[in-house]
Amino acid sequence: MGITKTQIFNAEQNELAVIFKVLSNPARIAILQYISQQDACICNDIVDEIGLAQPTISQHLKELKSIDLIRGEIEGKTVCYCIHLPKWTAVQASLNSFFDTTKSNCC
């Protein structure tokens, strides 16, 4: 997205922005919702479900993995993707902290 001047912001601001950026695509939202509904989730199932090409899904999964929101466990030929609950909960707590803190002094 063009050059973001990350160096002029603090760690919390940059980390929040990264989390929001990973979640800022409807395909990744849909992937997360779909994964959460499956017992054992396989990438190819996601491709059929979402309606994007396999390389595109693979790229989105990589971005979700980059902040540890999901983890992939290799099972033979396939990969079982799961939401990584500790991180998922931590991210939700971070966002709530941001929303609570930021509104506190609001006019």
Partner DNA sequence: TTTGGATATTGCTATATTGCGATAATAAAG
Partner DNA sequence: CTTTATTATCGCAATATAGCAATATCCAAA
98 makes contact, choosing from DNA, a second copy, none, with CB < 5 to 8 Å by partner type, with: a second copy
Q: Which of 79, 22, 84 is nearest to 46 (CA)?
A: 79
Closest CB to a second copy among residues 74, 85: 85
53 makes contact, choosing from a second copy, DNA, none, with CB < 5 to 8 Å by partner type, with: DNA
Question: How many degrees, rounded to 5, is the angle at CA 85 between CA 99 and CA 43?
Answer: 115
Q: Is 42 in the site for DNA (CB under 7 A)?
A: yes
Q: Is 86 in the site for DNA (CB under 7 A)?
A: no
Can you tell me which of 16, 19, 67, 79 binds DNA, judged by CB under 7 A? 79
The answer to whether the CB of 41 falls within 8 A of the CB of 35 is yes
E strand spans, the chain? 70-75, 78-83
Angle, to 10 degrees, between the axis of helix 26-37 and the axis of helix 54-66?
80
Which of the residues 8 through 37 are near DNA (CB under 7 A)? 21, 24-25, 27
Residues that bind DNA (CB under 7 A): 1-5, 21, 24-25, 27, 42-44, 47, 52-56, 58-63, 72, 74, 76-79
